[in-house]
Amino acid sequence: MPNKKQKIKKKKNSRSVSGEELNDPFGGIALSCGVVLRNRKIMTLAMRDELGNIELVSAKLKRSARKNRFLYYPLIRGIAFFVEALVINLLALFYKRRFIKKNLKTKTIYHRFFVRLRQYVLYIVYLALAVAIFNYLSANLQGYPIVTWDMGLYNWAVTFGYLILFALIFILIATLTREEADWLFYHGVEHKIIRALEKKGKISIDSLRKESLLDDRCSLIAWVWTMIFVSGAVSFLHLSGAPFGVVMIVLLGIIIFAFALAYELVWWSLKYRGIFYTIFIWPFTIVERIFIREPDEAHFKIGLAALGEIQKLNKRWR
């Protein structure tokens, strides 16, 4: 959870960062207007406006995982990661919305109207997709009281197919405009920076260009396995006649527990590699290609600005 914030506005510039001073494990989130990078202590959101100025927002994260070792236990660490990622995503979206709102003040009233109209239409579409997914999954949970093995396997395949379809619809909607599609490029920046950090060398635009776009620790792989586990759970587990509220609580619990299982599967497969990696991880790295694009110099500068800010705050916030 964040407990300290700092805002900085910088001009567009080219810079390099030393990866040797950043030893903590890194993660990131791609947005349409920038990128979030974080280690165990600090989260930094870097955003770029239309003039090329870069605004940085940083938050100090409470290191509760170090004080409470039980958060590293199997399954629990997956749930802790789920909750932490949810909080960081909500915080990043809050600052993104405030950043866009501030930039709109420089536009004409007509431009502001159409931008806001597009935003609200997208919100409605995303909400409709979420409702459709939950309705479909809850309908499965309230289905036949007795399910045969063959019927369960069929429902499993069909349900997973529907979830993939919903994901593809989301991608299509989220990439309708260049502004919205920028998150695909920032996703590439995030991966390249994390891979470059592992080499402990100097990180610059030139070095980032040489890094691979794909990262086998991308959370998308865990989310694909989450969809597989959720599809199986709602295909074999049924709550016929249960109140709607109970069904929704059970469904939410299934999603969280399925993510925890997926997190463990990915964690152990990456640790032991070999046949586990080949079966459970490698086939799904192709999913990343749908959600990622090769960044250009402007995108790299955003990522380097966030990384440099974390490096600076690592020394200040001890």
Domain extents in the chain = 74-296
**Gap between the terminal Cα atoms of the chain:** 16
Identify the helix (H) or strand (E) that includes residue 66.
Answer: helix 64-67
Which residue in 301, 219, 307 sits closest to 37, CA to CA? 307
pLDDT score of 104 more than 80:
no
pLDDT score of 261 more than 90:
yes
Which residue in 312, 147, 112 sits closest to 233, CA to CA? 147
- Higher per-residue confidence, 112 vs 221: 221
Kindly give, in sequence order, each residue whose CB lies less than 8 Å from that of residue 71, ignoring residues fewer than 6 positions away. 64, 65, 77, 80
The confidence score (pLDDT) of residue 1 equals 46
Instruction: Indicate the pLDDT class of residue 12, thresholds 50, 70 and 90.
Output: very low
User: Average per-residue pLDDT in the chain?
Assistant: 80
Q: Mean pLDDT throughout 186-191?
A: 89
The confidence score (pLDDT) of residue 11 equals 43
Q: Tokens 């369960």 — which residue?
A: 152
- CA-CA distance, 303 to 45, in Å (whole number)? 9
- Higher per-residue confidence, 21 vs 5: 21
- Cβ contact 245:134 at 8 Å: no
Q: Which structure tokens are listed for 124?
A: 């409605």
